Amino acid sequence: MKNVLVTGASRGIGAAIAKELAEKGYRVFVNYNKSEKEAVSLAEKIGGIAVKCDVSNADEVDNMIKTVEEYGGADALVNNAGASIIRLLQDTSEAEYDKLFNINMKGVYLVTRAVIPDMIKKQSGKIVNISSMWGITGASCEAVYSASKAAVIGFTRAMAKELGPSGINVNCIAPGVIDTDMNAALDNETRADLAAQTPLMRIGTPEDIAKAAAFLLSDDASFITGQILSVDGGITI
């Protein structure tokens, strides 16, 4: 049985990815930071293991990976944990900037750094990072969020080159507007407008992202690395 660690997996996109991968036969490590009840419940339902960790804290990340290593180490990693803020740049505090980059980029760096020694030793592994369409196009009132997600894209491309010789695939998914808690604050008019701007005329679901992640982690994607897969209904065309 292959092991996969999914960060930020207690709800939303992360939970959908955890469920999809469990159905594919993976042992899923369901990472959470604050949503313990949801993570434990999900882990019980899918036969996975809930692991608490603030991905922006190096010591906590190392402890999480030690737990995964007790089961043979991570064969795959999905860096999904993320945070967002909608605010004009001049109204965004330095603390808010630090929080977004610590979770959205530093977390990806810390968890990736922690899992790759074992992957390199095995000469195999797959990593999928979750960015955003705003990391590609940028978004008004989300400059810091957009920048943090653009950093994830750059990191993905660099690590694909760095880890390719070790047989490790590194790819990225850039979701469009997805029906999650992160977008729950959008009013109905805004949601309708975003759906209308999308060629497929709908807002995406967490399951849309989960299926893309499952593909990139599968053997069918063995010759794909360093790619940014936009799962956005065509909105960034």
- Beta strand 3-6 with 27-32: parallel, antiparallel or unpaired? parallel
**Assigned token pair, 148:** 């943090």
Band (186; pLDDT cuts 50, 70, 90): confident
**Assigned token pair, 75:** 């064969």
Active site residues: 145
What does the alpha-carbon distance between residue 157 and residue 138 come to, in Å, rounded to a whole number?
A: 18
DSSP the chain: --EEEETT-SSHHHHHHHHHHHHTTPEEEEEESS-HHHHHHHHHHHT-EEEE--TT-HHHHHHHHHHHHTTT--SEEEE---------GGG--HHHHHHHHIIIIIHHHHHHHHHHHHHHHHT-EEEEEE--THHHH--TT-HHHHHHHHHHHHHHHHHHHHHGGGTEEEEEEEE-SB-SGGGTTS-HHHHHHHHHHSTT-S-B-HHHHHHHHHHHHSGGGTT--S-EEEESTTTT-
Residue 182 has pLDDT above 80, yes or no: no
Residue 185 has pLDDT above 80, yes or no: no
* Residue 193 pLDDT: 86
Taking only the tens place, the pLDDT of each residue in 39-54 is 999 999 999 999 999 9
Residue 119 has pLDDT above 90, yes or no: yes
What does the alpha-carbon distance between residue 237 and residue 21 come to, in Å, rounded to a whole number?
A: 29
Residue 145 has pLDDT above 90, yes or no: yes
Residue 166 has pLDDT above 90, yes or no: yes
Locate the domains of the chain by residue range.
3-231
Give residue for tokens 């996969």.
4
Closest CA to 115 of 152, 144, 79, 156: 79
Is the separation of the CB atoms in 129 and 172 below 8 Å?
Answer: yes
What does the alpha-carbon distance between residue 56 and residue 198 come to, in Å, rounded to a whole number?
A: 33
What is the value of pTM for the model shown? 0.95
Residue 131 has pLDDT above 80, yes or no: yes
Q: What is the homologous superfamily of the domain 3-231 according to CATH?
A: NAD(P)-binding Rossmann-like Domain (3.40.50.720)
